[in-house]
């Protein structure tokens, strides 16, 4: 079940990065693009490190970064951290329903690790 969820998140979230960039703050969007490129270039550890340093103030930006970290932790086989970050992203309730993260099934509920 978790693998299906993560595959869906990866497809909806990172494969369409530029689609969501318009909702991210400019500073966060620029950093996310650089981090995404690191991941694409096979530098996952460096991408994770740079994401961990980001501390955006906007709720949407926080959720987006948490989701990216959750996916990257999963790719790096850090399952516990992945679950925690994905739960954080969902619990922030910052994503519109069309992204899958704001699904009505979870609206108003906290997701636990």
Q: What is the pLDDT of residues 14-65, one digit of tens each?
A: 444 444 434 799 999 999 999 999 999 999 999 999 999 999 999 999 999 9
How do residues 69-89 score in pLDDT, each as one tens digit?
999 999 999 999 999 999 999
pLDDT score, position 99: 47
Q: Are 85 and 67 in contact (CB under 8 A)?
A: yes
Residue 4 has pLDDT above 60, yes or no: no
pTM above 0.75, yes or no: no
What pLDDT does residue 23 have? 79
Q: For residues 102 and 95, is the Cβ–Cβ distance under 8 A?
A: yes
Sign of CA dihedral 79, 63, 49, 32: positive
DSSP 113: -
**How far apart (Å, rounded) are the C-alpha atoms in residues 4 and 44?**
21
Residue 111 is given by DSSP the state P
pLDDT of 111: 57
Q: CB–CB of 113/94 below 8 Å? A: no
Tokens of 54: 């980001």
Please provide the size of the chain in residues: 113
31-41-22-84 Cα dihedral, nearest 10 degrees: -70
């Amino acid at each position: 079940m978790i693998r299906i969820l993560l595959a869906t998140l990866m497809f909806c979230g990172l494969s369409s990065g530029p689609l969501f960039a318009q909702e991210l703050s400019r500073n966060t969007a620029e950093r996310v693009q650089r981090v995404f490129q690191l991941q694409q270039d096979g530098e996952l550890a460096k991408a994770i490190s740079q994401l961990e340093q980001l501390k955006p103030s906007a709720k949407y930006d926080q959720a987006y970064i948490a989701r990216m970290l959750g996916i990257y932790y999963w790719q790096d086989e850090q399952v516990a951290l992945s679950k925690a970050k994905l739960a954080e992203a969902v619990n922030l309730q910052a994503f519109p329903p069309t992204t899958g993260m704001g699904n009505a099934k979870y609206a108003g509920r906290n997701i636990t690790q």
